[in-house]
Structure 1
Amino acid sequence: MSPEQSQHPLNFEQTSFIKSAAKLSQCPEDVGREVAFAGRSNAGKSSALNALTGSKKLARTSKTPGRTQLINFFSLTETLRLVDLPGYGYAKVPEAVKAEWQQHLENYLQKRDSLIGLILLMDIRHPLKEFDQIMLEWAEFYQKPVHILLTKSDKLKFGAAKQAALKVQRELKPFGNLVTLQLFSSLNKMGVDELKQQLSTWLLDEKN
């Protein structure tokens, strides 16, 4: 067993695609435990999932943000899953379609019993946009913990990135212990190990 595997009981490199769902009724059976990844369409969600799992094609990255309009489920073990939620806030789609996506997303957050936490991705240069605020409010209402990835942190010098993180942290104070955050970069793998630790803690902690 490698040091990487011993540090993280879950082997994220074994992650495999299960299915896509357009609405709650099409999701896999609601058993076990899962953590969902959410973020605006240009926050780097697909790249983060690929960096986490060591795969270049597990989650499709697109040059047209907002193309993923389905809830995508991935298996870690027989009972543990990762979920890629549709990206919002950037896609050039009709408002009626956006409203429908939002309704399906809220149904998932409200009614999915196996959902134990959310990874919320924000571009470190553009954090806490409207969609991010909506997600945080939903998470607080449904009492789901949130771990924020401040993505594309390599775009800033380290000192500037730390300052940006502290600023976001101050704005998150009203949420208390429900919300945590970290710096992240898919490009240079900054924060991947910390993300694995967070996911392992959530997915393997039966009290969660």
Structure 2
Amino acid sequence: MKTTSAELIISAAKDHQFPGGPYPEVALSGRSNVGKSSFINTLLTRKGLARTSQRPGKTQTLNFYFINDRFHFVDVPGYGYAKVSKSEREAWGRTMESYFEKREQLKGVVQLIDARHKPTVDDEMMYDWLKHHDLPVIIVATKADKISKGKWDKHIKQIREGLQVDKEDPVILFSSETAYGKDRAWKEITQLLFSKTERFPKENDEENEPS
């Protein structure tokens, strides 16, 4: 997909701050430092749009990016990082739970996993939680450039088995350094955004179809 426009429209700390409108959206979830910001920047060909940080856990809001005047990417706080207060973690949890459970515009989730390692307990818990709520998931295995090509299949299998990935959920190797996997990631994301399957069906709703 060609990106003609992309902007951060709001960093929402509470659910009442989520933008309205009919635009479909895909959430991006993953452990802190897994490469979510780099993934966003690579997909959108916008260097520096999503800020990368050397300090894990810095993202404490849901960041809504409005793309091509048609849909949102939603960067949610990274999980698995303990150096924040218990009250902060609980506040994030309540806001994200509200988002994932109630957000009608949400079509699915991109869960990013570090391809170099086995999925962590936090990765497994997040995937199980998303599937419990009947959300389609695209697994993106980041940092593929750090693994020799001859071992790619082994690492994909390791992720599929570790998460017990549903057959309908794709696992995509990705590298922000080389843009490997970018086209396939866009293909899967586009299918989620503009499929005819509504998570919360409504009568007389018109579907957003790609032009």
Amino acid in the other structure paired with 1:25? H
Q: Does 1:193 pair with 2:183?
A: yes
Name the structure 1 match of 2:133.
142
Partners of 2:27 and 2:46 lie apart in 1 by 18
Name the structure 2 match of 1:41.
32
Q: Secondary structure at the match of 2:166?
A: helix
Choose which of 4, 8, 12 in structure 2 pairs with 1:21.
12
Name the structure 2 match of 1:203.
193
Q: Does 1:120 pair with 2:111?
A: yes
Name the structure 2 match of 1:76.
67
Is the alpha carbon distance of 1:191 and 1:108 closer, same or farther for their aligned partners in structure 2, counting shifts above 3 Å? same
TM-score (norm 2): 0.87
Is the alpha carbon distance of 1:88 and 1:29 closer, same or farther for their aligned partners in structure 2, counting shifts above 3 Å? same
Amino acid in the other structure paired with 2:177? L
The percent of aligned pairs where both chains have the same amino acid is: 36
Q: Which runs of 5+ in 1 are unaligned?
A: 1-7
- Which structure is higher in helix share? 1
Q: Which runs of 5+ in 2 are unaligned?
A: 199-211
Name the structure 1 match of 2:88.
97
Amino acid in the other structure paired with 1:33? P
User: Are the aligned partners of 1:154 and 1:187 in contact in 2 as well (CA < 8 Å)?
Assistant: yes
Is the alpha carbon distance of 1:67 and 1:116 closer, same or farther for their aligned partners in structure 2, counting shifts above 3 Å? same
Q: Does 1:88 pair with 2:79?
A: yes
Aligned length: 198
Deviates more, 1:126-135 or 1:17-26: 126-135
Is the alpha carbon distance of 1:30 and 1:103 closer, same or farther for their aligned partners in structure 2, counting shifts above 3 Å? farther
Choose which of 89, 92, 100 in structure 2 pairs with 1:109.
100
**Cα distance, 1:145 vs structure 2:** 0.4
Partners of 1:130 and 1:26 lie apart in 2 by 31
TM-score (norm 1): 0.88
Name the structure 1 match of 2:152.
161
**Cα distance, 1:103 vs structure 2:** 2.0
User: Are the aligned partners of 1:45 and 1:121 in contact in 2 as well (CA < 8 Å)?
Assistant: yes
Partners of 1:204 and 1:111 lie apart in 2 by 19
Deviates more, 1:156-165 or 1:66-75: 156-165
User: Are the aligned partners of 1:37 and 1:83 in contact in 2 as well (CA < 8 Å)?
Assistant: yes
